[in-house]
Amino acid sequence: MGLNYLNLDQETRKFMTIELNIDIEQGKVYLSPRLNSIGKANYTNALKQSFLSGEDSSLSKQLRNGYLSETEQRKTKVGYTTAKVPITAPDTLAEGEFNRYYIRALCRRALDDSNFEIVVYRAKEVSDPRPSSKAKIGERFDPQQLIDDLRNNIGVDTSLGLPPGPNSGLSVQLKVKSQEVTA
């Protein structure tokens, strides 16, 4: 089961697709080293299809159709070893990348409508949440800084720490800015 995207509507999907097209034009689409040749050839189309009418779970299902290598090289103290790619790899990749484009799309919406702000929430329950993830819930982010960070840091790590790594279960939502009343 994937993340619960609170603002996944047609407008968000449109911006997700626009952001993907920007990455395609700039050659910045993240291609996991776990993708095999079939996966590398078809991944961006699978992403686009999930943005138009699916979710991370439909992307994960597509990745399971022969898009990932069965084994990978891992570094050890004395060299390298061959290991099986984890069975959860399609879910991790799909959730991570779908969520990154979803966050970018919400940043675009918040930049277009100054009544909205970007706030972190738990989009998927996890059995043992990381303390760093728990600390981020309710945190507000500047949409321009966040979208720039996600555009410039493809893959897993971002300088702002959102999303905070694979399987964190965190995403963002659009919230109407609260009006402060002055006396």
**β-pairing, 140-141 with 79-84?**
unpaired
Residue 26 has pLDDT above 80, yes or no: yes
In a domain, 109, yes or no: yes
Give the domain range for residue 108.
10-176
pLDDT of residue 97: 95
In a domain, 110, yes or no: yes
List, in sequence order, every residue forming a beta bridge with 118; answer none if it has no partner. Answer: 141, 174
pLDDT of residue 15: 99
pLDDT of residue 139: 94
In a domain, 4, yes or no: no
In a domain, 2, yes or no: no
In a domain, 181, yes or no: no
Distance CA 131, CA 133 (A): 5
pLDDT of residue 168: 84
Residue 179 has pLDDT above 60, yes or no: no
pLDDT of residue 34: 96
Q: How confident is the model at residue 132 (pLDDT cuts 50, 70, 90)?
A: confident
Q: Return all residues near 161 (Cβ < 8 A) that are at least 6 apart.
A: 132, 136
In a domain, 77, yes or no: yes
List, in sequence order, every residue forming a beta bridge with 72; answer none if it has no partner. Answer: 83
Identify residue 17 by its one-letter amino acid code.
T
Q: How confident is the model at residue 183 (pLDDT cuts 50, 70, 90)?
A: low
List, in sequence order, every residue forming a beta bridge with 116; answer none if it has no partner. Answer: 176
The C-alpha angle 160, 58, 63, rounded to 5 degrees, equals 80
In a domain, 1, yes or no: no
pLDDT of residue 90: 97
Q: How confident is the model at residue 182 (pLDDT cuts 50, 70, 90)?
A: low
pLDDT of residue 54: 97
Look up tokens 């964190």; give the residue.
168
The whole-chain average pLDDT of the chain stands at 92
In a domain, 82, yes or no: yes
Q: State mean pLDDT over 15-28.
A: 98
As for how many domains the chain has, the answer is 1
